[in-house]
């Protein structure tokens, strides 16, 4: 007959306790997210775009002349950030639809090198745009919003193709060994999304810009959620623990919650010093 050491609970009882604690922890995580969301919705400017503004406010200068507009209303992110974060969220969606949502593998070196190269025009145009803020400093050309949007969109798509497998490597127990982009043909097809997105934004049609504006801020939340999810997994030494979404959702929710807290903290500091939800007044 099986016996148990003195002052110890039977395995079945220990398992039941762990299950209750685990469920309690999941509820706490969900309650924390709801609390943060409710506070954020209360503190942010009114309206759905106002909430999007609050997200953009934490990561973007939001200079009016460097942004696209819905009529007279500035988008939540500047032209460059709109392209970057829109590229991220659309890129991830494309990869998931293409069956690479669980890919563990980065593209091979030649493809990876081209993805990495997108940071060069993005950075070059960004430096030139920064210099343009100061008339006494030299700059190579007059910055344009369409160019900011273009360099940002290509970089955002590249970030999605690198970031998705990085998060997968931390989160999932098993994944696909197929590279997120297998070859140059897939890369070219993937990058065809860029001119489509750029063209849609440049139309400046309010019916089109409104959902694109919301999507771009979702790109911010996606990146923050992924970063903090990976950090939490490393801190608690739980890498590669999830087999299904049921396993993964608590840590994803926790990552999202921390990301939202970061956004609200940056918003609070910025608003304290500027006293406005508008962009920095730095000219063109």
pLDDT in tens, the chain (284 residues): 444 455 554 555 445 434 544 777 888 999 999 999 999 999 999 999 999 999 999 999 999 999 999 988 999 999 999 999 999 999 999 999 999 999 999 999 999 999 999 999 999 999 999 898 888 888 888 999 999 999 999 999 999 999 999 999 999 999 899 999 999 999 999 999 999 999 999 999 999 999 999 999 999 999 999 999 999 999 999 999 999 998 999 999 999 999 999 999 999 999 999 999 998 876 55
172 phi, psi to nearest 5 deg: -90, 145
Nearest to 226 by CA among 159, 174, 180, 154: 159
Task: Report whether 276 contacts 45 (CB < 8 A).
Answer: no
Phi-psi region of 183 (alpha: psi -120 to 50; beta: other; left: phi over 0): beta
Quote the pLDDT of residue 104: 94
Residue 179's φ and ψ, nearest 5 degrees, are -55, 150
Let me know if residue 281 belongs to a domain: no
The confidence score (pLDDT) of residue 191 equals 98
Number of domains present in the structure of the chain: 1
In a domain, 134, yes or no: yes
Beta-bridge partners for 100: none
Which pLDDT belongs to residue 169? 95
**Per-residue burial over 66-86, b = 16 or more CB atoms within 10 Å of its CB, e = otherwise:** bbbebeeebbbbbbbbbbbbb
Q: List the one residue out of 95, 104, 244, 233 whose CA is nearest residue 175.
A: 104
Contact (Cβ atoms closer than 8 angstroms) between residue 70 and residue 213: yes
DSSP string for 38-86: HHHHHHSPSSHHHHHHHHHHHH----GGGS-EETTEEPSS-HHHHHHHH
- CA neighbor of 48 nearest in space, from 31, 68, 70, 78: 70
Cα(271)–Cα(5) distance, integer angstroms: 60
Alpha helices in the chain (DSSP H): 11-43, 48-59, 79-97, 109-117, 119-132, 145-171, 184-191, 193-202, 206-235, 245-274
Q: Is residue 39 one of the residues assigned to a domain?
A: no
Sign of CA dihedral 276, 260, 169, 91: negative
* Predicted structure pTM score: 0.90
What single DSSP character describes residue 238? -
Give the largest CA-CA distance in the chain. 89
Q: Is 19 part of any domain?
A: no
Determine the pLDDT at residue 23.
72
Q: What angle do CA 93, 99, 100 make, to 5 degrees?
A: 75
Say what the pLDDT of residue 1 is: 44
| Residue 194 forms part of a structural domain | yes
In this structure, is residue 255 part of a structural domain?
Answer: yes
Question: CA-CA distance, 202 to 131, in Å (whole number)?
Answer: 24
The reported pLDDT for the residue numbered 283 is 57
Q: Name the burial class of residue 164, with classes exposed (0-12), middle (13-18) and buried (19+) by CB atoms within 10 angstroms of its CB.
A: buried
How confident is the model at residue 20, as a pLDDT? 41
Q: Range of 100's domain?
A: 44-274
């Amino acid at each position: 007959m099986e016996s148990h050491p003195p002052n110890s609970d039977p395995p079945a009882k220990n398992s039941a306790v762990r299950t209750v604690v685990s469920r309690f922890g999941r509820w706490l995580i969900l309650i924390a997210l709801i609390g943060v969301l409710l506070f954020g919705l209360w503190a942010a400017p009114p309206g759905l775009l106002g909430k999007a503004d609050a997200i953009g406010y934490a990561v973007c200068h939001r200079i009016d002349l460097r942004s696209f507009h819905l009529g007279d209303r500035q988008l939540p992110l500047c032209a460059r950030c709109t392209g970057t974060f829109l590229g991220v969220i659309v890129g991830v969606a494309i990869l998931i639809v293409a069956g690479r949502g669980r890919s563990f593998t980065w593209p091979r070196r030649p493809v990876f090198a081209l993805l990495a190269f997108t940071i060069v025009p993005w950075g070059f145009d960004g430096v030139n745009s920064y210099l343009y803020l100061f008339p006494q400093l030299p700059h190579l050309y007059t910055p344009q919003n369409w160019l900011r949007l273009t360099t940002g969109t290509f970089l955002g798509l590249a970030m999605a193709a690198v970031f998705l497998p990085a998060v997968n490597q931390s989160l999932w127990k098993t994944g696909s060994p197929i590279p997120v982009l297998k070859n140059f043909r897939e890369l070219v097809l993937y990058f065809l999304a860029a001119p489509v997105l750029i063209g849609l934004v440049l139309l400046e049609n309010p019916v089109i810009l409104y959902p694109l504006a919301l999507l771009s801020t979702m790109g911010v939340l996606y990146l923050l959620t992924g970063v903090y999810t990976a950090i939490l997994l490393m801190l608690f030494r739980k890498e590669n623990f999830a087999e299904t979404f049921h396993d993964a959702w608590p840590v994803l929710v926790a990552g999202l919650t921390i990301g939202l807290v970061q956004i609200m903290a940056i918003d609070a500091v910025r608003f304290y010093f500027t006293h406005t939800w508008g962009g920095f007044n730095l000219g063109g």
